[in-house]
């Protein structure tokens, strides 16, 4: 456990000093500011516009940073050989990989917290109100979505080069975001074609809309029940576990150079 | 019988991608590294030295063969015992030497980390730069940092991949001394290099690889190959013979075998019969702020010629 902590701490330090750390925070804060501007110019309900734009900005920023850092932290270690130096020490490959993932998760948490605070400040300045608990849960589930995407990036980064890992992770993520929507487009009376079955299966096992609760930002009454929320969280944790297990399995069995 | 690290019939094949031909890097290679000795692993670039090192500490896996240490499998070897200095700088560029060494010490669960870090960085001459990012260090400083990282946990096995590359004359001399210190501690050193000139005087035994095959080993009694004793030389800028003799008298320094002054660019060339004598001079000259243009072994061209013969031999048999 201590070995994982050491690698995670080092990964966090590396990411904190990364050139894109400050620009990505600036980008995220700009998105929050844009959400405030949007509600000034929109004809729609003002708080709704601000929430929609702000939460979307939060989501996009996280996905971008997951993709850049999740792949970079592992692919670069493999490319520049720093993984060799660390694996000569008494640490197993799976510990190294978990350390990298937890370091990335903590960095994402810091970014998420900064953006959340920025958004809260905007809400206070514009509407003198605090983010409600159900809105907080929306941010929390988005963070869970980031963690799932970070696990996908980690998985591909263990055996692909940087461009392939970025392309594959993004493709898999888009598939997850679209599967639920595709399922909704199916006819109500199923005719049982293989395509229908494939889409239904995909939507059952690979549906990332479960972490995207943006639609409920303003309408609290239709917010999912706690049982559904628990099942979404369990689904996220299960996905992360499976992806990291797969990544550890592959990473433990291949040449690292 | 001497205990040793044995590589038994290792074959390593790389395939860059599915459309390219597979590349045999090591071909049924058997090689031996006696424990508590310094063994050189020499060969041209691409001979398979670095691949063999990676197989020894498990970053790569062999397609065939195994590696044993004192007759038990290398996988059982506790990695706390290995120190590795890679061929090129592989430390994270945004971390400082202090962070790199501290993190390394923590991975090895060492005690008194703060003092250890200070001591090792002081030893390799990096204490003044311990809070600078490693990307701002020069190549030579990077090599010093790599050596510090490889030895801070006092390993039983030290694997040095091209330890002299990128070092200035003083750095080379320091590296030479540090490796000698490790030998005195009875550390098993594997010194991997394509520069026979620099490494020969350090090695108790040596092996020469060519195209993934062992073409010569001092442990193989069937082949005889003896290099002439190395000579060391220093070239000093802007110093006359008379000034040289005054300096020698001032500090009671050893006599050179040969001394030549080149008047066209006003430098002095001095040759010594031992590394220690040349090193004493080097230390003294740098303290006096005199410009040392060259420091190293000298008159070893015949060594290179001999070594090439073995490479040719390997090429013919391959």
The answer to whether A16 contacts chain B (CB < 8 Å) is no
pLDDT (average), residues B270-289: 83
Question: How is A150-172 classified by DSSP, letter by letter?
Answer: HHHHHHHHTTS-HHHHHHHHHHH
pLDDT above 70 for A159:
yes
Q: Which of residues B308 and A232 earns the better pLDDT score? A: A232
Alpha helix segments (H runs only) across A81-191: 82-87, 93-127, 133-157, 162-185
> Residue B306 CA to chain centroid, in angstroms?
20
Note the pLDDT of residue A42: 62
The complex's ipTM?
0.80
Are B59 and A257 within 8 A, CB to CB? yes
| pLDDT range class, residue B226, cuts 50, 70, 90 | low
| Rounded distance between C-alpha atoms, residue A172 and residue B87, angstroms | 38
**Boundaries of domain holding A117:** 2-253
Phi, psi dihedrals of residue B86, rounded to the nearest 5°: -75, 170
Residues 6+ apart with CB under 8 A from B67: B5, B6, B7, B8, B10, B55, B56, B73, B74
| pLDDT range class, residue A166, cuts 50, 70, 90 | very high
Are A3 and B107 within 8 A, CB to CB? yes
| pLDDT range class, residue B318, cuts 50, 70, 90 | very low
Question: Exposure pattern of B265-300 as b/e (b: 16+ CB <10 Å)?
Answer: eebbbbbbbebebbbbbbeebeeeebebeebbbbbb
Are B54 and A84 within 8 A, CB to CB? yes
The answer to whether B86 contacts chain A (CB < 8 Å) is yes
Closest alpha carbon to B286 in B295, B298, B296: B295
Q: Which of A89, A92, A103 best tests the B interface by mutation, with the highest count of B CBs <10 A?
A: A89
Q: Which domains does chain B have, with CATH numbers?
A: 4-217 (3.40.50.300), 231-299 (3.30.70.980)
Domain count, chain A: 1
pLDDT in tens, A38-55: 766 666 666 777 777 788
Asked if residues A66 and A173 have their Cβ atoms less than 8 Å apart, the reply is: no
The answer to whether A107 contacts chain B (CB < 8 Å) is no
Note the pLDDT of residue A102: 95
Chain B neighbors of A10, CB-CB under 8 A: 92, 95, 99, 103
pLDDT in tens, B195-218: 666 777 788 888 888 888 888 777
The answer to whether B91 contacts chain A (CB < 8 Å) is yes
Note the pLDDT of residue B311: 55
Question: Exposure pattern of B78-105 as b/e (b: 16+ CB <10 Å)?
Answer: ebbbbbbbbbebbbbbbbbbbbbbbbbb
Q: Which of A6, A9, A88, A251 best tests the B interface by mutation, with the highest count of B CBs <10 A?
A: A88
> Structure pTM?
0.81
| Rounded distance between C-alpha atoms, residue A223 and residue A216, angstroms | 6
pLDDT above 70 for A16:
yes
Are A90 and B84 within 8 A, CB to CB? no
The answer to whether A189 contacts chain B (CB < 8 Å) is no
pLDDT (average), residues B158-182: 86
């Amino acid at each position: 456990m201590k070995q994982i902590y050491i690698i995670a701490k080092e990964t966090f330090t590396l990411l904190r000093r990364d050139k894109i750390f400050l620009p990505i925070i600036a980008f995220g804060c700009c998105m929050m500011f844009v959400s405030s501007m949007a509600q000034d110019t929109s004809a729609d309900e003002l708080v709704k516009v601000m929430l929609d734009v702000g939460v979307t900005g939060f989501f996009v920023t996280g996905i971008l940073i997951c993709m850049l850092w999740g792949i970079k932290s592992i692919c670069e270690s493999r490319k520049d050989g720093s993984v060799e130096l660390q694996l000569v020490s008494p640490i197993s490959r799976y510990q190294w990989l978990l350390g990298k993932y937890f370091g990335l998760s903590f960095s994402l948490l810091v970014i998420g917290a900064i953006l959340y605070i920025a958004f809260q400040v905007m809400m206070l300045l514009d509407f003198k109100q605090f983010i409600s608990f159900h809105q907080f849960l929306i941010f929390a589930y988005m963070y869970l979505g980031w963690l799932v995407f970070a696990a996908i990036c980690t998985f591909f980064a263990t055996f692909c080069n940087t461009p392939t890992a970025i392309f594959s992770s993004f493709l898999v993520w888009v598939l997850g975001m679209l599967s639920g929507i595709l399922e909704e487009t199916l006819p109500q009376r199923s005719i049982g074609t293989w395509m229908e079955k494939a889409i239904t299966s995909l939507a059952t096992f690979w549906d990332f809309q479960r972490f995207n609760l943006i639609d409920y930002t303003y309408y609290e009454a239709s917010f999912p029940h706690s049982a559904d929320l628990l099942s979404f969280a369990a689904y996220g944790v299960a996905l992360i576990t499976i992806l990291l297990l797969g990544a550890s399995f592959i990473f433990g069995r291949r040449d690292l150079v | 019988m001497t205990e040793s690290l044995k590589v038994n019939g290792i074959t390593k094949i790389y395939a860059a991608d599915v459309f390219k031909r597979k590349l045999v890097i090591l071909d049924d290679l058997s090689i031996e590294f006696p424990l508590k000795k310094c063994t050189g692993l020499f060969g041209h670039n691409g001979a398979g030295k670095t691949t063999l090192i990676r197989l020894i500490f498990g970053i790569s896996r062999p397609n065939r063969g195994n590696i044993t240490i004192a007759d038990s499998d290398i996988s059982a070897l506790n990695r706390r015992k290995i120190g590795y200095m890679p061929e090129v700088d592989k430390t994270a560029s945004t971390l400082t030497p202090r962070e790199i060494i501290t993190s390394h010490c923590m991975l090895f669960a060492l005690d008194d980390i703060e003092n250890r870090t200070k001591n090792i960085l002081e030893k390799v001459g990096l204490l003044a730069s311990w809070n600078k990012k490693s990307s701002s260090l020069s190549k030579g400083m990077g090599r010093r940092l790599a050596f510090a990282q490889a030895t801070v946990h006092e390993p039983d096995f030290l694997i040095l991949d091209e330890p002299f590359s990128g070092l200035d004359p003083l750095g080379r001399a320091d590296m030479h001394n540090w490796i000698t210190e490790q030998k005195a501690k009875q550390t098993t050193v594997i010194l991997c290099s394509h520069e026979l000139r620099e490494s020969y005087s350090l090695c108790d035994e040596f092996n020469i690889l060519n195209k993934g095959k062992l073409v010569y080993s001092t442990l193989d009694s069937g082949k005889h190959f003896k290099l002439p004793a190395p000579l060391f030389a220093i070239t000093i800028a802007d110093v006359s013979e008379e000034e040289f003799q005054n300096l020698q008298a001032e500090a009671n320094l050893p006599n050179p075998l040969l001394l030549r002054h080149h008047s066209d660019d006003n430098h002095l060339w001095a040759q010594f019969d031992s590394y220690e004598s040349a090193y004493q001079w080097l230390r003294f000259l740098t303290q006096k702020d005199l410009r040392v243009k060259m420091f190293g072994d000298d008159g070893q061209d015949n060594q290179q010629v001999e070594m090439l013969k073995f490479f040719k031999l390997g090429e013919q048999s391959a």
